[in-house]
Amino acid sequence: MESWGRATAARPTVCGSLPASEGRQRYASEPMNPLTVAVVAGLLGLVFGSLANVVIYRVPRGESIIRPGSRCPSCGEPVGWRDNLPVVGWLLLRGRCRRCRAPIGARYPLVEAAMGLLWFAITLRLVSAGLGWAVPAYLALSFLCVTLAVIDARTRLLPNRITYPAFPIMLTLLLLASVGLGDLGRLVRGLLAALAVGAFFLLLALISPRGMGLGDVKLAPTLGLSLGWLSWGAVAFGVFAGFLLGALAGLAAIALLGLTRKSLLPFGPWLVTGALLGVLAGADVAAWYARSLIGS
């Protein structure tokens, strides 16, 4: 079974055949300590979580995400930089507008915290595996996934304004990562996975138009590309996890909320959650499964 994606280009080993003291010294001057890089990425993720909140609010309304600056939706008061600080601003205001005291939803700090945690975890994972070149691509993917999950949960739509540009953006970032790593095979595998996952979702939408929306079909190639660049195991795990979570949520909704099968929940949030789990854990689980098959 292929690995999740340890870089094929060998990194210089830290201790190698050097004497222990010299090895430690070289370790100390290692420029890319995964934990340090991940903490920086996590803090940056909090800020990008704020941007995600703007996208979540404005894109479904057809508004510009650049102008005007953030305003209170109730009284139109511009939000000062201090109140705009991720998570902290909301906590200091106790979830209310400074001027009109209208409540500000807990969604805002939650999206910011989720983005920060994801950016931390994904960066730690990739840099530890020697795939630092791919960090920008997968940070962009998690921005895309968080944003689309919340928009779909609120509006039951995955807007074309996001799903259409997502594929060329991910393709460009993964091309750069492949060139940086000297491994274009990953890009080829990603494109094959984009075709396979896209065709699979299109087929499901044709068979069951009510269960699978067209937005899901438009997003599927982007997720296939991103997971395929890592490994086939990540593709299999990511897609399977999405369907499993969606099915469990559907059953829970029927049992607890008394929803009928015709008013099922949107699938997008589960689809992108599965994909992110595929990025974080895909190959570990796939390799474990392959080992347990051989072992039995």
By CB under 5 A, residue 70 contacts Zn ion: no
Report DSSP state, residue 77: P
CB of residue 96 vs Zn ion: minimum separation in angstroms? 8
Stretch of residues binding Zn ion (CB under 5 A), selected from 31-39, 50-58, 67-75, 174-182: 67-75
Query: What is the nearest approach in angstroms of Zn ion to the Cβ of residue 75?
Result: 3
Beta-carbon contacts of 252 under 8 Å, excluding residues fewer than 6 positions away, are none
Calculate the CA dihedral of residues 175, 145, 276, 141 and round it to 10 degrees: 20
Nearer to Zn ion, 74 or 155 (CB): 74
| Number of residues lying near Zn ion (CB under 5 A) | 8
Cβ proximity to Zn ion, 72 vs 166, nearer residue:
72
Q: Which is nearer to Zn ion, 57 or 119 (CB)?
A: 57
Report, in Å, the least distance between residue 100 CB and Zn ion. Answer: 3
Tokens 């509006």: give the residue.
155
| 3-state secondary structure at position 103 | strand
Binding mask 79-118 for Zn ion (x = CB under 5 A): ------------------x-xx-x----------------
CB of 73 to Zn ion, least distance (A): 8
The residues binding Zn ion (CB under 5 A) are: 72, 74-75, 77, 97, 99-100, 102
